[in-house]
Structure 1
Amino acid sequence: MRPLLLLDVDGVLNPIGRPHPGYRRYRCVVEGETYVVHLDPGHGRRLLDLAEGTGAELVWATTWEHHANEWIAPRIGLPSLPVVTVNTGTAPVSERGEMFKTPAVAAYAGRRPFVWFDDQVWAEDEEYLRVHQGVGDFLLVQVAPKGGLTSDHLGMAREWLTLTGFSQGP
């Protein structure tokens, strides 16, 4: 089973606050709302290298959903990616404490191993995924929203995929 690399946008590819040098500012209009995002054009190449090197499939797991393919992917050099549908109109956190995206991620990934880059994954999300029937092995990579995705995060994913034997790369 080909592993998945699940990507959030806000707080991961679009840091909150003042971005580091190298980020570019963009205005995006989504469903009539204007958003300002800061994106590092180098993220696309690094994510593609990770996916190619491990045989993983890149997938959006963001409230941007399909809009990420229109507004984010071309600005960082990614192709159009599959999307986990996460906008369900549910509360941000369930009664058990996991984030609203977590059940959608579990359903999408199923038995496939996955790495999930997000700034809002916590112990409750990990517990939900561990006890949820039908979910394979996973690594949650919590990204600090002020700094965004770093080489260290990508290295953690590469190492986990390689050491666990999920890597299908060269």
Structure 2
Amino acid sequence: MLLDVDGVLNPFERPHRGFKRQRCSPNGMTFKLWLNPAHGPSLLELAESTGAELAWASYWCDNANVWIAPRVGLPELPFVPIPQFPGIDEGRTLGAWKARHVAAWAKSRPFVWFEDEPDATKCIAGEPDVAEHLLVEIDPLTGLTDGHIAAAETWLNALDR
């Protein structure tokens, strides 16, 4: 199960109950985030019940382990190494760049991807040799919900193990 941070765990609008305002300062820049400490236990329960592994698929990379994981109740997780986006002159969108690195990291493993970036969700299926996957498209204004977790659970339980 691959987790994005901004737009997924950190909605862009003031969210519903359960979220708390957090200040995070990776690389010396301070960000004000909305994070829900109930997300971690829900995601860990889902991983345990389905035999899935959790990993970050975010531009936060390893910074998510320092700044996000403890605030949402997650342990340190592996992360997809997504290099900084090279820019518009490279002819790629931000979402396509991220999808390329996610597909390469997942290799032949099936995966669920909680993602809010529309270009990433459109581009992942076009990546060479991408494994069977479920894109759980998150509205970045509201973030991750119980419905998204339930959709992932249904799909993971249906996988042929």
Long gaps (5+) in structure 1: none
Question: Is 2:46 aligned against 1:50?
Answer: yes
SS at match of 1:161: helix
Alignment map for 1:1-170 (pairs within 5 Å): 5-91=1-87, 95=91, 98-122=95-119, 125-126=121-122, 128-166=123-161
Q: Let me know the Cα RMSD of the aligned residues.
A: 2.0
Moved more, 58-67 or 84-93: 84-93
Higher helix share goes to which structure? 2
SS at match of 1:19: coil
State the number of aligned residues. Answer: 160
Residue identity matched to 2:30: T
Percentage of identical aligned residues: 46
Tell me, in whole angstroms, the C-alpha distance in 1 between the residues paired with 2:83 and 2:155.
Answer: 29
Q: Following superposition, which runs of at least 4 residues in structure 1 exceed 4 angstroms of deviation?
A: 92-98
Tell me, in whole angstroms, the C-alpha distance in 1 between the residues paired with 2:142 and 2:42.
Answer: 16
Tell me, in whole angstroms, the C-alpha distance in 1 between the residues paired with 2:135 and 2:116.
Answer: 10
Tell me, in whole angstroms, the C-alpha distance in 1 between the residues paired with 2:118 and 2:88.
Answer: 12
SS at match of 1:26: strand
Closer, same or farther: CA 125–149 of 1 in aligned 2, 3 Å: closer
Closer, same or farther: CA 87–164 of 1 in aligned 2, 3 Å: same
Q: CA deviation at 1:131?
A: 4.0
Long gaps (5+) in structure 2: none
Tell me, in whole angstroms, the C-alpha distance in 2 between the residues paired with 1:93 and 1:54.
Answer: 42
Q: CA deviation at 1:133?
A: 2.8
- TM-score (structure 2 length as normaliser): 0.91
Tell me, in whole angstroms, the C-alpha distance in 2 between the residues paired with 1:70 and 1:96.
Answer: 29
Q: CA deviation at 1:85?
A: 1.2
